[in-house]
Structure 1
């Protein structure tokens, strides 16, 4: 039970961090992307590097 709770908490924190990073990326001056699909691809590339 404890493992399930910590797993869910970890999932929620990961989602929060993802949203925070995505907002940060959207506000980045270098990247002027209107299309969300392109924005997500940029985000994934940034995380990978």
Structure 2
């Protein structure tokens, strides 16, 4: 099995679905959205 196939299989499993749902809940929180924006800003400024 290739790595992509294993990841895909995991994401369809019950445990994978739990992790996906948890990730979506965490991303919906305003404080986490702000952290991601700050991280993206830092990354984009490094590339210049």
Considering the TM-score relative to the shorter chain, is it more than 0.5?
A: no
Higher relative contact order (CA 8 A, sep 6+): 1
Q: Which has the larger radius of gyration?
A: 2
Greater share of helix residues, 1 or 2?
2
Smaller-chain TM-score bracket = 0.3 to 0.5
